[in-house]
Amino acid sequence: MSSLLDRLPFGRRREDAQVLAVEDATLRSDRFRIAREGEWRRLEAIVTAIEKGRLRRVSDEDLLALPALYRTLASSLAVARETTLDAATIAYLEALAQRAWFIVYGPRASLGSWLARFLGGGWGEAVRAIRVDIFVALATMVAGVVVGWLLVRSDVQWYYALVPGQFTDERVPGASRAVLQRTLFGHSDQNGLTVMASYLFSNNSTVSILAFALGFAFGLPTLMLLLQNTAIMGAMLWLYAGQGLLFDFACWLAVHGTTELYAILLAGAAGLHVGRAMVFPGSLTVLDAAAAAGRRAATVMVGVVMMLIVAALLEAFARQLVDTSLGRLAIGLFMLVFWTGYLFAWRRRPGSVAAP
């Protein structure tokens, strides 16, 4: 071929060389496609059948071959992008690769079915799996309440150091019983979403997220965060107890607190669970242990978000509409029993689908 081209004029020689190069590339592209087209068609048939909901028509042999066929297709696509001039083949491979990826690696269930499994027992299983961490978080929160109470009892200035400024409008040491009582009752005519309700929801949502996220630092910041935030509650309990309003304040808090504090407890326990897995990975590597604990903790955190939404509704409406301590206590106790029963006592029916 080179000797024939040498006899032609330079311009003609260059044009013919380009034509021969294109023909050679086309030939190689055709050979490449013919050699692999059978596997591509097989993969396309499997993907199409699954997309149309005809999984039962796919043979076991094809299902077992699906991952290998996808990897082969991905390799073919990479080679085609580098060597072939057939744009149609590249477009076909790209489209098929996207479809196959969702079948091989995509979600296995719809949002509705996932939510049904989650609420049907998956959340409770994840919570029960971290019960040790829940007990540790609960002990820390109780200790925080006690510490907050003791600190402000020993020195009133601790109250201003612990309690955020949003709570120190009238709720300060030295306030009369009438003033403190006014903060608890007589707000049934206010709009549901008050400034204080919005602040409390925002604050506790932030605390819950941080309590979970800080667990990756071996759980120590999570413990400190739980201790610091419940110390605020201890300080305020001391304040109202000083005017004989401890029961009324506890009932006022219970309306949304049994849900909101429960959510913070679970979030803190989820963070501790991840931190504990990193400190004591067992037979797994640290990364594998953290990944497994993280998936379990993430399931718990989805439920925490739901609990915070419920707490926000209770805080914004029920606390204002119910203006008696016994009524508020009844709501708070009902929510406490409901969450505990749902998460710890209720079990998924035998034979139901396992949670993700």
Check pLDDT > 50 for residue 198: yes
Note the pLDDT of residue 57. Answer: 83
The pLDDT-based confidence of 109 (bands split at 50, 70, 90) is low
- pTM (two decimals): 0.68
Residue 56 has φ and ψ, to the nearest 5°, of -65, -20
pLDDT tens track for 131-167:
999 999 999 999 999 999 999 999 999 999 998 876 6
Note the pLDDT of residue 269. Answer: 95
Note the pLDDT of residue 35. Answer: 78
Whether residue 227 contacts residue 302, with contact meaning beta carbons closer than 8 Å, is answered with no
The beta-carbon contacts of 206-212 under 8 Å, at least 24 apart in sequence, are 207/264, 207/267, 208/263, 208/264, 208/267, 208/268, 208/301, 208/304, 208/308, 209/267, 211/264, 211/267, 211/268, 211/270, 211/271, 212/267, 212/268, 212/270, 212/271, 212/274, 212/297, 212/301, 212/304
pLDDT tens track for 308-323:
989 888 887 777 788 8
Whether residue 138 contacts residue 265, with contact meaning beta carbons closer than 8 Å, is answered with yes
Check pLDDT > 50 for residue 34: yes
Check pLDDT > 90 for residue 250: yes
Check pLDDT > 50 for residue 4: no
Mean pLDDT of 205-230: 88
The pLDDT-based confidence of 26 (bands split at 50, 70, 90) is low
